[in-house]
Each structure stands twice: as structure tokens, then as C-alpha cells.
Chain A
Amino acid sequence: MEHTSKSYEHELKELQDKIFLMGGRAEEMVSQSMRALIETNADLAKKIIDEDKILDQLEKEIDELCFNLLALRQPTASDLRFIVMNLKMVTDLERMGDLGVNIAERVLELIQEPPLKPYVHLPILSQMAQQMMKEALDAFVAKDEGVARRVLSQDDGVDHLTKQISEELIELMKANPENVSRAVKLTSIAKYLERIADHATNVAEKVLFMLKGEDVRHSEDSVA
């Protein structure tokens, strides 16, 4: 059922659309940063770094929208949860974009030297993080509790693979000091991807709060 005020309805839709746009852009930045690594594409990496300002601008627009809604509409119940969670969610999305930029910066450094090894697990880790981002946003738009909970259940897998990649890279560093520089940068990329997945988890938790008024943060019961 829609609000009687068409302008209020429009403002809420605008907020949802901007969050979705911002999330989509952040996901694209992560996807492209991994492509830049695999293809040793410096131009693509630079483009990602440059695009961060679009995300920064969206963050400001979303904050402004939320601020106005809170000041002028006195939202309650589900509207209040929606607006407050959007305010918090925008921080996660902005950080995801920043982490995509961090990956691109490490890629620019890495492609100065030959690849340390074929990239096998990092693309898989990136794909897992991207999938979590995508599903968290899908859950937000579709208001789907099941999909949000599924995102939460995937975080352990990401942590496990990140640990595995870090251990592999440690072994490479031990084997040859010349590997250290590249291995450290690759470890950083793995950590960035893990944090991106953590932010996707945060988004999913906020979606659950929006839908159910249930705060599942820091809880093992949140996993489906």
C-alpha cells in the first residue's frame, strides 16, 4: 500500500534507487579491479580510482535525502527503519567503493612486475565477495529476508578462503625474499576482499532490521 502523499512516496523511492545505484557502482568497481589485476590493465585500474568520486557524491546525496526525510516527514515504523538503515548502509557502500579503489591501487603497483603466480584463488574470493554484495542489494530492493540471511551465511566461506590465500602467500615469502613485495600486496588485496564481504554482511543485517525490526548484529542466530 502506498502513502497518501505522492511526493513522500516519490522521495522514498528516490532514496531506494540511489542506494541501489551506489551499491551497483561499488560492486562494479570491485569486479573491474579484479579484471584489471588479471589482465594487467593499468588504464582500467586508474579508471576505477577516478570513479570513486561518483560514489562520494552519491553518499552526500543520500545523506541529504535522509536528513530531509527525517526533518520534514517525521517517519515512523517501517519508514523510520528504512531511512535510518539507509543512512547507515551508505557508509558500508562507500567503504566498499574505497576498498575497490585500494585494490586498484595495489594492482597498479603489482603490474610493474611479473605476476608472482597464476591468480587462482583471488578471483574466486573476489567472485564470492561480489556475489555477497549483489545478493545484499537484491535483498534490499526485493525486501527478501531469505536472501539477506543467505548473505550472512556466506561470510565464513570468505574468511576461510582469505586465510588460505594468506597462508599460501606466507609460504611464498618464506621461499624467496624477492617474492615479499608482491606477496604483501596480494595479501592486502585478499584482506580488502574480505572486508568487502564483511560490509556486504553489514548491509544484509541492515536489510533484516528494515524488514523485521530485528537487530541480528553480532549474533550467531542470524545465519539461515
Chain B
Amino acid sequence: MAHRISVKNLKAWFGNKQVLKGVDLELSPYEITAVIGPSGCGKSTFVRCLNRMHEVVAGATVEGKVEVDGENIYAPHIDPVLIRRRIGMVFQRPNPFPTLSIFDNVIAGLKFGGGLDRRRADEVVEKCLKMAALWDEVKDTLHRPGTFLSGGQQQRLCIARALAVKPQVLLMDEPCSALDPISTARIEQLLEELKKDYMIVIVTHNMQQAGRVSDKTAFLLNGELIEYDDTKKIFRSPASPLTEDYITGKFG
């Protein structure tokens, strides 16, 4: 099912410090959107606002709307935990649960949400590890700890874990910045496969990665959305001189 996200006048603070200053954009299904910008521009905060992770930080506040298929996820009656299932997140540092096996890591979100019988668990684990392009590497060692895997494998395990709860959207906050180039290439190829079924938003400080994997790119600077367009357009002929300066390495 195709899901759309509309971000309307999104503002965010850490205490008194405003880090997002009214961002408006529309995210389309089955696309990868890259969010780029210099350190401190608000790109991670923006993405964390899309699944109500920002408010987990003490003193953090949000204003504005994030509408998923027309429903504002910040409406008073909305349960943020459910939002975080629908809009899954993969973080910069791979974080498999250290005390759990590979198998149990994949189904951790389902177990916490309610009962899961063994047969169903086997099916989910195999399906999600295949989707994350990890199954062949771990199918004979599913009961080993997740932390025994390499960095790239751990990150793919985290993606499998996110996929197991059947999200509508995948958010990724610099998912490859801790990985070597080969692991990065594998994750990027995985993203090309996953976008056939999911909307994906990826924060990256690696502009070249944004060019390689994304369909659309949003450039943030000092908490403001400077430009949002097809990635080809951004990297060939950006409309804003600020975007031009950033992607050509003239500042940041």
C-alpha cells in the first residue's frame, strides 16, 4: 500500500534552542529521500520528528504537523509507540540487542508487542533476513548472538528487525557512516530493493551517497529547508546558490 507523508510547518526545539524553523515537504511512496546538510543543520532532528523520537529527549518539543496518509501523528489521541512501529528507524551505529541471538533480535519488536508462536517466528525471521540480504550468511547460525556479526551484518540485522514489525516507512539516520565501503555498497543495493515496497528517508552526511541512492534530496541549513527536488536536479543544477555551495564543497 502506498503511503504519503506531508510535513507542515514543522518546528523543533531542544529546550530554548530552536533547531527546525518551519519545514514543509511532501514525501512520496516507493522513493528514497536523502536529507543532507552540514553538521547541526537539523537533519537528524527532522527525521526523528517523523516518528516521534525527538520528544523522547528531555526538554525536546515539536510544533507543526506530520501527516501520514492524512492523519497527523502529533494529534493528542495518537500513541507514539504505535507510530514508531509504523515508521521504523535504523540508527547510525548498528545496535542489535547484545543479549539476544540473531533470531531473537529479528523478532524482538513482535515479542514486545504480544505473543508470537514458533512457526510464525521462523517464517518472520527467514523472510526479514532475506529482505535484508542477510539470510544466506546467517541461516546456519541464527542462535548465535547478534553482536558476533560484522558491522555491516549487524546493520542489516537491524534493518531486518525494523522490517519484522511491518513498518510503512523506514527512516535511516546515517546508516552507513560506521561501515566500510563494501558493507556500504551492500546496504545501498539493499535500499534499491527495499524501495520497491517502502518509503525510505535517509539522513546522510555523505553527499555522494545521496547522489547514488536517492530519488529526491532535501537540503537543510540552520534548521531551514533550502531546497527539495529530484536528486538529479539537485546534483546537476541546484536552484539555490546555498545548495550549490554545499554540494560543491565550498562550505560546511
Contact = CB atoms under 8 A, between A and B. Distances in A.
Interface of A: 3-8, 67-68, 71-74
Contact of B212 (A6, A67, A72): A72
A87 to B, nearest CB: 15
Contacts of A6: 189, 192
B231 A72 contact: yes
A7 B192 CA distance: 8
Nearest to A5: B189
Given A5-B192, A7-B192, A71 B185 contact: no
A119 to B, nearest CB: 49
Contacts of A7: 192
Contacts of B185: 3-5
B189 A72 contact: no
Interface string B8-22: 000000000000000
B236 A67 contact: yes
Nearest to A68: B232
A72 B235 contact: yes
Q: 6 tightest CB-CB pairs across the interface, nearest first?
A: A4-B185, A72-B211, A71-B235, A74-B208, A71-B236, A4-B189
9 contacts: A5-B192, A6-B189, A6-B192, A7-B192, A68-B236, A71-B235, A72-B212, A73-B211, A74-B212
Contact of A4 (B188, B208, B231, B232): B188
Interface string B167-202: 000000000000000100110110010000000000
Contacts of A5: 185, 188-189, 192, 212
A74 B211 contact: yes
Interface in B191-239: 192, 208, 211-212, 231-232, 235-236
Interface of B: 182, 185-186, 188-189, 192, 208, 211-212, 231-232, 235-236
Nearest to B213: A5
A71 B186 CA distance: 21
A36 B232 CA distance: 44
Contacts of A68: 232, 236
Given A3-B185, A72-B212, A72-B231, 4 more contacts: A4-B182, A4-B185, A5-B188, A68-B232
Contacts of B211: 71-74
Nearest to B233: A71
Contacts of A71: 211, 232, 235-236
Nearest to A4: B185
Nearest to B211: A72
Contacts of A74: 208, 211-212
Contacts of A4: 182, 185-186, 188-189
Contacts of B192: 5-7
A8 B192 CA distance: 11
Contacts of A67: 236
Contacts of B232: 68, 71-72
Contacts of B235: 71-72
Contacts of B182: 4
A186 to B, nearest CB: 46
B193 to A, nearest CB: 9
A3 B186 CA distance: 10
A63 B185 CA distance: 26
A73 B235 CA distance: 10
B48 to A, nearest CB: 27
Nearest to B182: A4
A6 B185 CA distance: 11
A8 B186 CA distance: 13
A109 B182 CA distance: 61
A3 B192 CA distance: 14
Nearest to B210: A72
A73 B236 CA distance: 12
A71 B208 CA distance: 9
Contacts of B208: 74
Contacts of A73: 211-212
A208 B92 CA distance: 43
B9 to A, nearest CB: 31
With a 10 A CB-CB cut-off, give which of A4, A6, A8 has the most chain B CB atoms.
A4
Nearest to A67: B236
With a 10 A CB-CB cut-off, give which of A6, A67, A74 has the most chain B CB atoms.
A74
B181 to A, nearest CB: 10
A4 to B, nearest CB: 4
